[in-house]
Amino acid sequence: MTGPQAVPGARTGGGPLAGLLVADFSRILAGPYATMLLADLGAEVVKVEGPAGDDTRSWQPPVREDVATYYLGVNRNKRSIALDLKDPGDLAAARELARRADVVVENFKTGGLARFGLDYDSVRRDNPAVVYASITGFGSQPGGASLPGYDLIVQAISGLMSLTGDPAGEPFRAGISVFDVMAGLHATIGVLSALHHRDETGRGQHVEVNLLSSALSGLVNQSSAWVAGGVVPFRMGNSHPSLFPYEPLPCADGDLIITAGNNGQFRKLVEVLGVPGLADDPRFARNEDRTANREQLRPLLVERLRTRTKLEWFRDIIGAGVPCGPINTVDQGVAFAEEVGLDPVVTVGEGAAAVPSVRNPIRFSDTPAHYRLPPPALDEHGAEIRRWLAEAAATTPEGRP
């Protein structure tokens, strides 16, 4: 394949995925998050939007200069082209893009792209080496293919909401679309694995990810409790079913998260708190003892913690090697990441078009992530991409790159 360097205006830079062209037919969160990660790592991503644009462009407030920050958060390093797939000319451009792409990512309803000749079977006829990733809500089998895949619905159906909230209260959703993000990560892993397989064999393949499977996998110990142990987990507020202390505990001026995950950490904790004898108390000597007797242990710890502020205890407890931390707001979380040297914010673009963005979390010693383009305006690169696709189709023998 000719690769992304042929896309007009493309910057051939570094990154472990430099040289790959991704046709992004996804919208909202799971797909765009996956393709942004690929773009950060060097792939050239062409974001295909309908005439009205990605739905998240209008998911506001909050906004930055009238653009939804939701959209800005998952669409950097991409070029946008608006295509109406019901228009013959636009459909031809979409098919040509898919034919030239190394990777296609889509999150239409199962079968939704077949009528346009953009489903996997259609695309692979002209592009047998394509890695084609489909993200759905509940899979492609008849029982789930017709169900709409919204993160909140999956949080409910998967059981996550039954685990979230106060034990005496109502189920709660997570504060983010956690399974959209997980599905995006799983799609990225699937794409990279399929690309490695293609390097070895020359063959592309269809990668399928669905939110419910990502959810059940992401529930880890809670889903395993049922699958392997026959135990149905239940809401415990901020408590952990298998560890104690592993939750917020009140200090003089607020709560501090303390996570003593093993016997050694618990001994260090109670030494700092000035009650070292608790580590030898047979009720609390082992983790399973502490978990079973948490209602007896908690007030003993709280009695000591209430004598000082949370930041005073934080400094001493963390200094002793016991994991702990204050409950921050998001701005405080970003500030803390800055304090510990993680440089969490990057500026993408230049001048008035520059947009602050959260840094890609993966660090490479040789091929770091690049931040080349701010999130594009709708159809910002449409004219040049259309010309490139038309020229490529006209000049390539038999329509092949």
* Secondary structure of residue 84 in the 3-state scheme: coil
Q: Which residues contact 67 (CB under 8 A, 6 or more apart)?
A: 57, 375
Catalytic residue among 180, 199, 253, 316: 180
How far apart, in whole angstroms, are the C-alpha atoms of residue 326 and residue 212? 32
User: Would residue 289 show up in a list of annotated catalytic residues for this protein?
Assistant: no
How far apart, in whole angstroms, are the C-alpha atoms of residue 148 and residue 192? 27
How far apart, in whole angstroms, are the C-alpha atoms of residue 348 and residue 54? 20
Structural tokens at position 253: 């001026």
Q: Is the dihedral of CA 160, 161, 164, 167 positive or negative?
A: negative
How far apart, in whole angstroms, are the C-alpha atoms of residue 24 and residue 79? 10
3-state class percentages of the chain: helix first, strand second, coil last, to nearest 5: 45, 15, 40
Instruction: Tell me which residue of 63, 103, 54, 34 sits closest to 360, measured CA to CA.
Output: 34
Catalytic residues: 180
